[in-house]
Amino acid sequence: MPVIWLLLALLVAWVALGPWVPVAVAVALCVPRVRWWVLDRFWVTWRGTGIAAAVVAVLAGIVVLLPDGWLPVPQSTGVLVAPSYVGRPASATPVPAGTIPQNPHLARNGAGTALGDAWSTGTSPWLGPVGLQPEVDTAWYGLEQCATLALDSRDRLVGLCEARGGRALHVIDPDSMRPLATKRLPAPEDGDDEVCGAHPYLDAADRMVVATSDRRVLAVSTADADGEPDLTTARTWDLSPHVPNDDCLVALLPDWAGRIWWATQDGLVGTVAPDSGEVRVLDLGEEVAGPFSTDETGATYVVTTHALHRLVLDGSGTPGIAWRTEYDRGTERKTGQTTRGSGTAPVVLDGGVVAITDNAEPRMHVLMLERSTGVEICRAAVFEDDASASGTALASVGSGVVVANTHGYASPVRTLLGRGTSGGMARVDVPADRSGGECRVRWTSEVVAPSSVPRVSLASGLVYAYAKRPSWWGVSAWYLTGIDVRTGRSYFSVRTGTGVLMDNDHAALTLAPDGTAYVATLAGMVRVQDRQPKDASD
């Protein structure tokens, strides 16, 4: 009996304090007297082994048989040394964002893409959590991550999810976070490149337009005639005659006329006419690793590993280069980015501006350019020397952008045992006088958000980050953090969970019209919402 109580005490200590407890036990067992005492009192019987194996088998069977979303995401240990809440609630103070036009062929702004809209602004018109008694729920999908989320016209989540067996589309209940409908997509033929097919969009008819590994584009309806969740392929466009076998589709987005623009990893950019299926292609000859943007003038902005391009259609309807502006792509791929070059999508800003980051050394720059000409307006170096990179998107705030530092994030392994990354988040504005050449760094936050895509709530005046608190206890605790977009002050951080399964691994944060925030993790979904969001006060 004393041994049983000792084991229970060690188990409780491990759950409460984290991985240092088994380390301490291992060190103690190196002492001969302690080891002999334990061996003298602890023995294993066949009966005990059989019971333990049966319990494990039953639990494993339950986990395998239960559908996705019925269990919470498993947490790691150390719950007592990682605070559940830090800071104080914020007052919802809307921020002016200028005019973000609605693409008529895309779902409403804030809901159609992982980056919010056709301009890739990373903004939401809706209120997000303000930190007032926030409630956190999780849903376990095994080892499936729904990194791209959209919201249909009924506020249901539509996710492009990825597991080892391939990709799938899910229509997800926003309350239970359980899949309501599922459609499997073709599995990759050779390996599984996370860049390929990763950037679909939801169109104005509630159809998810997604690229497949066999170089097709599908328009998948997300509801049946009665509005019930259903995933049925409504249209298919085959691009395999135009895209080589060793290339793949990276991103899709419609222009204001309804043409579907597409880009491949090897630098092919083209359009598909939805009705006729006619395809036009332009070869940029440079790698494309992320999403692109379109604007109301008919232009498309594509960043490659060498330059930012503004593309327009010529008289025959074929994409052509209106201008091309090179940037400093550095000498190597930095840790925290997938390529040597810019790691962000072009963000279109009100006032005729488009923004990207470069890959300069020793410090990365945020670049602001004239949309019409590609001429650089200004630039600003951000974060520390030899510790700056951005492998996620920018978020716009009026005439400025918020940029997150992903330097040091090579994979989820980098965040194990309480470790963090270089960290930091900054806001960079275009100065009123555009002749100076220097953008204004309005603020810099020390928040550590290893691979977070910043999301701005225009209604709350906060920018949200999926952050991690480095811990000497070796506990990997993850937090939804709300930061004042005007000052960079962190208002609150609410713990969403602990352990590697809670890592978002570049997944974007989504805000719903009811004030809920959703984040996809390596093993499922997280939902954060205030108990009484309308009553929040500073």
Q: What is the pLDDT of residues 518-535, one digit of tens each?
A: 999 999 999 999 986 454
Burial 354-382 (b: 16+ CB within 10 A, else e): bbbbbbbeeebbbbbbbbeebeebbbbbb
Q: Where is the domain boundary, 32, 65, 98?
A: 65
- d(Cα 281, Cα 268) in Å, to the nearest integer? 7
Q: Are residues 242 and 178 in the same domain?
A: yes
pLDDT greater at residue 66 or residue 413:
413
Q: Are residues 170 and 135 in the same domain?
A: yes
Q: What is the pTM of this model?
A: 0.91
For residue 175, pLDDT over 60 is answered with yes
Which pLDDT belongs to residue 52? 72
- d(Cα 274, Cα 277) in Å, to the nearest integer? 5
Q: Are residues 115 and 32 in the same domain?
A: no
Domain that holds residue 14: 2-65
Tokens 């809209």, located at residue: 117
In a domain, 51, yes or no: yes
Q: Are residues 32 and 124 in the same domain?
A: no
Q: Are residues 10 and 102 in the same domain?
A: no
Which pLDDT belongs to residue 537? 43
- d(Cα 502, Cα 437) in Å, to the nearest integer? 41
In a domain, 473, yes or no: yes
- The number of folded domains in the chain is 2
Q: Where is the domain boundary, 14, 37, 65?
A: 65
Handedness of CA 394, 395, 400, 402 (dihedral sign): negative
| Residue range 20-43, pLDDT digits in tens | 788 888 888 788 877 777 777 666
For residue 396, pLDDT over 80 is answered with yes
| Residue range 90-120, pLDDT digits in tens | 999 999 877 899 999 999 999 999 999 999 9
Strand pairing class (293-294; 216-223): unpaired
Q: Are residues 310 and 231 in the same domain?
A: yes
In a domain, 80, yes or no: no
Reported confidence tier of residue 149, pLDDT bands at 50, 70, 90: very high
Reported confidence tier of residue 183, pLDDT bands at 50, 70, 90: very high
Q: Are residues 48 and 183 in the same domain?
A: no
> Do 491 and 89 contact (CB within 8 A), yes or no?
yes
In a domain, 508, yes or no: yes
Q: Are residues 161 and 250 in the same domain?
A: yes
Which pLDDT belongs to residue 251? 94
In a domain, 368, yes or no: yes
For residue 299, pLDDT over 90 is answered with yes
Q: What CATH number is given to the structural domain containing 467?
A: 2.130.10.10
In a domain, 71, yes or no: no
Which pLDDT belongs to residue 315? 85
Question: Which are the contacts of 294, defined by CB distance < 8 A and separation ≥ 6?
Answer: 103, 118, 119, 253, 254, 255, 256, 261, 300, 301
Q: Are residues 9 and 148 in the same domain?
A: no
Average pLDDT in the chain:
90
| Residue range 243-291, pLDDT digits in tens | 999 999 999 999 999 999 999 999 999 999 999 999 999 999 999 989 9
Mean pLDDT confidence for 73-84: 88
Q: Are residues 353 and 279 in the same domain?
A: yes
Q: Are residues 94 and 194 in the same domain?
A: yes
Q: Are residues 370 and 339 in the same domain?
A: yes
Residue 414 DSSP label: G
In a domain, 76, yes or no: no
In a domain, 467, yes or no: yes
